[in-house]
């Protein structure tokens, strides 16, 4: 007798859940060693799963890496939703956004380091490129939601297109991350100040007479 649709769905759900568990485990190793230095065996050695189990759920390292980063970024893209919901003034939004950027470097630096590693690797590995492009676009949209809300609270339209606004803020974030992983913890305070200075530049000037 063929399995019922609910049984098949349950099997798929269990398979996907196990892949997510493996992704969660893999992220720690990937964040510590980087893409080039990480192997499936290394991931298995640093987890509760055997090398055979890892290979059963993922054909190769590339497939696991792509799934892991998509899994992580899917959780990240709502990171600033709370900031948007709670901020009632433009200045309050900037302060909360800047603080959140610094907090995420402090708490999740290895994961961000992995992301920039993979973004660079995608220029050389075509198989990574589509996944990285999709994730990068999702992050751009996440930042644009912040900029749009800031513009709304400031009663001024954005002066830049989403890709440029994202590039400016992402550049500040990456510079701060690079300094932080090099041991400069004071850079997070600098990042907060930089974000406060840059955010008004993303909006059109106030009309004359305001």
Provide CATH 1.10.10.60 ranges for the chain. 8-61
State the pLDDT at residue 2.
47
Give me 128's structure tokens: 């990574």
Provide CATH 1.10.357 ranges for the chain. 77-210
Q: Quick: pLDDT tens for 46-55.
A: 878 788 888 8
Token pair 């989403």: residue: 162
Three-state DSSP state, 182: coil
Q: How deeply is 83 buried, as exposed, middle or buried, from its count of CB atoms within 10 A (0-12, 13-18, 19+)?
A: buried
Count Cα neighbours of 11 within 13 Å in the Cβ-side half-sphere.
6
CATH no. of 8-61? 1.10.10.60
User: Do residues 128 and 122 touch, judged by C-beta distance below 8 A?
Assistant: yes
Q: Quick: pLDDT tens for 78-112.
A: 788 889 999 999 999 999 999 999 999 999 999 89
Distances (CA, A) of 124 to 31, 117, 131, 136: 20, 12, 14, 16
CATH no. of 77-210? 1.10.357
| Distance of alpha carbon 97 from alpha carbon 146, whole angstroms | 8
pTM of the entire predicted model: 0.84
| Distance of alpha carbon 18 from alpha carbon 1, whole angstroms | 27
Q: Name the β-bridge partners of 203.
A: 158
Share of the chain above pLDDT 90, in %: 51
Phi then psi for residue 158, to 5 deg, are -60, 145
């Amino acid at each position: 007798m063929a399995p019922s649709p609910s049984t098949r769905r349950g099997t798929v759900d269990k398979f996907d859940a196990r892949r997510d568990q493996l992704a969660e485990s893999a992220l720690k190793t990937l964040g510590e060693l980087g893409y080039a230095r990480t192997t499936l065996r290394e991931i298995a050695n640093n987890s509760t799963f055997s090398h055979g189990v890892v290979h059963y759920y993922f054909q190769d390292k590339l497939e696991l890496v792509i799934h892991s980063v998509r899994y992580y970024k899917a959780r990240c893209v709502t990171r600033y939703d709370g900031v948007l919901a709670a901020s009632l003034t433009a200045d309050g939004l900037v302060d909360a956004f800047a603080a959140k950027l610094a907090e995420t470097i402090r708490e999740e630096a290895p994961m961000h380091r992995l992301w920039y590693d993979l973004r660079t690797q995608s220029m050389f590995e075509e198989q990574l490129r589509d996944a990285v492009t999709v994730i990068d676009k999702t992050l751009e949209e996440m930042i644009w939601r912040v900029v749009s809300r800031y513009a709304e609270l400031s009663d001024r339209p954005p002066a830049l297109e989403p890709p440029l606004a994202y590039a400016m803020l992402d550049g500040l974030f990456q510079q701060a991350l690079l300094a932080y992983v090099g041991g400069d913890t004071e850079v997070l305070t600098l990042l907060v100040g930089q974000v406060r200075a840059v955010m008004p530049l993303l909006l059109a000037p106030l009309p004359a007479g305001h």
